[in-house]
Amino acid sequence: MSSEKIVVVKCGGSIVNQLTSAFFESIQQLKASGYQIIVVHGGGPDIQDTLTKLHIETEFVDGLRKTSKEALEVVTMVLAGKVNKQLVKELQKANLKAVGLSGIDGLLLKAEAIDVERLGYVGEVKGVNDTLLKQLTDSQYIPVISSIGADEEGNSYNINADVAAGAVAQAVNAEKLMFVTDVKGVLKDGALLPELTKSEIDALIEEKVIYGGMIPKVTSAVNALSPLLEEVHIISGTDGFLDKEGKLIGTAIKYSGKGGEDSDEFIVSNISTV
């Protein structure tokens, strides 16, 4: 898929119910400009709400939901059913062709357990079926992928959606990976910060300029970067994320491959264009 211009869009569960028509108009604009789009999503709040209603207790270990077999059934139901189909319907309302999938379908996200004793059925991605994704994008469909994976023995796994999106983006050689949030990007005093290094991000976290739910978003974005995936963007799902000229509105975190002392440095900017 390296010859295509591909954008992977990651929607967290907390933003799915807040996506606006302006957001989908920006997706339309991206598609019209020649990009193929792949959506990866989570569904944490809906999962927790359903688990609570069913009186199924869960706990978090190192930021990951410990997932029993009973909890995994709920995770699968909510992610592959409710949330996935909600996103597909919204894309189709915006006249965008979309197909809903879980990572189980066609072993789209081939996974294995991280640590069954500590985390239960929580997995890490070991492979991505990029051939299946190419078949869909070549037919102008937007694959919408829920973050569940499986192994060849038929075991299913709950996968962190940030990790799943990063794996998909790298597998398809995406130009960009976008993390959708409820703000325009990394803000200071209400304004987008024009450029940051990773060390400055760390300092802003320490200063509590970057705080709360933005910390895992920035951390996940930085962790997804590699020489194969040089840009990760933080964008808004409650507004349009492209201006009239097609410039991205948001914070772009870029991988710097300069080598030497700067080889592990990351540059954050909100002036990248698509």
Q: Does residue 43 have a known ligand-binding role?
A: yes
Q: Taking the CB of residue 112, how many other CB atoms lie within 10 A of it?
A: 17
Query: How many Cα atoms within 13 Å fall on the side-chain side of residue 199?
Result: 3
Instruction: Tell which residue, 105, 243, 85, 216, has the closest CA to residue 161.
Output: 216
On whether 118 is known to bind a ligand per the annotation, the reply is no
Token pair 């398809």 is found at 172
Q: CA torsion 142→253→2→19, rounded to 10°?
A: 0
d(CA 141, CA 99): 7
Non-local CB neighbours of 81 within 8 Å, separated by 6+ positions:
none
Residue type (1 letter), 177: L
Establish whether 44 is an annotated binding residue. yes
Q: Which of 77, 80, 81 is nearest to 103 (CA)?
A: 80
CA 38 to chain centre: 10
Query: What tokens were used for 271?
Result: 């002036």
Residue list, annotated binding site for substrate:
43-44, 65, 158
